[in-house]
Amino acid sequence: MGEEFHHLRHVLRIKVGDAVSVFDGAGRGFHAVLVALEPRAAILRMESEETPSTESPLGLHLAPALAKGEKLDWVIQKGTELGVTVFHPLIAQRADLKLNAARVDSRLSRWRRIALEACKQSGRMRIPRIHPPVGLSEFFARELPAVRIVLDPAGEAPSRFLAADSLRHAAAVLAAIGPEGGWEEAELHSLKESGFLALALGPRTLRAETSAVLAAGLFQFLAGDLR
């Protein structure tokens, strides 16, 4: 008996004839009706596809540095609600969290559950992809969006930077967010050498998780997702 069946039967307590919404995790949602509830399975009849889609036109990638506690959990949850399509957790030099192989698998499972729950809560139909944490060299080897941003207090002011046509009309954007202690100079140099443009988010010092959510909201606004 899967988690979704348990949730449907014992938490939502839906009955035969009730309407439900289902999604395939890849961008499509459907109206359905429960036609039978068996001991270990629910049988649904698909009625119609849900329109319009709740997905953003922007392919939004976030690359947050690893962090202790629930900080990265929170970024995954809120980023999913805001329409992030891909997460790239990064192992930064000043990151205050170190993971061995077993803990990586555990964290990935946790983050994917958080993303799924955030999709259901927010009405999203696409579950974001969450990559295993890697260092910058492995990160740069991935296929990444051409428009790349690194958050840096010494970077360009948002009022000038965000008005650029290259950002406003981008099909996909990647934003890298450093750890609480900030990026090392060598890391910033590597990011800029790999095509990342530095962006500051105002005069106040923000927590890393706040910066991640603010950046996601700004890029979705520019993409027209907030309508």
CATH code of 32's domain: 2.40.240.20
Q: What's the pLDDT score for residue 17?
A: 64
| Number of structural domains found in the chain | 2
C-alpha angle 66-72-73 in degrees, rounded to nearest 5: 145
Q: What's the pLDDT score for residue 68?
A: 83
42 shares its domain with 12: yes
Establish if 210 belongs to a structural domain: yes
CB of 27 closer than 8 Å to CB of 85: no
Q: Quote the tokens at residue 118.
A: 């955030």
181 shares its domain with 213: yes
Reply yes or no on whether the pLDDT at 216 is more than 90.
Answer: yes
Average pLDDT, the chain: 85
44 shares its domain with 84: no
Average pLDDT rounded to a whole number, residues 148-169: 82
Q: H or E segment at 191?
A: helix 185-193
Amino acid at 77: Q
CB of 68 closer than 8 Å to CB of 179: no
Establish if 11 belongs to a structural domain: yes
Reply yes or no on whether the pLDDT at 1 is more than 50.
Answer: no
Establish if 71 belongs to a structural domain: yes
Percent of the chain with pLDDT over 70: 78
Reply yes or no on whether the pLDDT at 102 is more than 60.
Answer: yes
Average pLDDT rounded to a whole number, residues 101-115: 90
Confidence of residue 199 (pLDDT cuts 50, 70, 90): very high
How many whole angstroms separate alpha carbon 91 and alpha carbon 21?
37
Beta strands in 119-195 (DSSP E): 129-130, 147-156, 172-177
Q: What's the pLDDT score for residue 27?
A: 62
Half-sphere exposure of 170 (CA within 13 A, CB side): 23
Establish if 96 belongs to a structural domain: yes
What's the Cα-to-Cα distance from 221 to each of 14, 60, 141, 162, rounded to whole Å?
A: 37, 12, 29, 10
Average pLDDT rounded to a whole number, residues 133-155: 95
CB atoms under 10 Å from CB of 24, counted, come to 11
91 shares its domain with 10: no
Among 106-115, 118-127, 139-148, 170-179, where is mean pLDDT lowest? 118-127
Percent of the chain with pLDDT over 90: 53
Establish if 54 belongs to a structural domain: no
16 shares its domain with 41: yes
43 shares its domain with 97: no
Establish if 199 belongs to a structural domain: yes
Q: What's the pLDDT score for residue 188?
A: 97
How many whole angstroms separate alpha carbon 119 and alpha carbon 34?
21
CB of 179 closer than 8 Å to CB of 92: yes
Q: Higher model confidence: residue 187 or residue 170?
A: 187
Supply the range of the domain harboring residue 28. Answer: 3-49
Establish if 16 belongs to a structural domain: yes
34 shares its domain with 140: no
Average pLDDT rounded to a whole number, residues 62-91: 95
122 shares its domain with 158: yes
Q: What's the pLDDT score for residue 18?
A: 65
Confidence of residue 168 (pLDDT cuts 50, 70, 90): confident
Does the model's pTM come out above 0.85?
A: no
36 shares its domain with 105: no
Establish if 227 belongs to a structural domain: no
Contacts of 197 (CB under 8 A, 6+ apart): 148, 149, 150, 155, 156, 161
196 shares its domain with 171: yes
161 shares its domain with 96: yes
The CATH number of residue 169's host domain is 3.40.1280.10
96 shares its domain with 148: yes
CB of 147 closer than 8 Å to CB of 174: yes
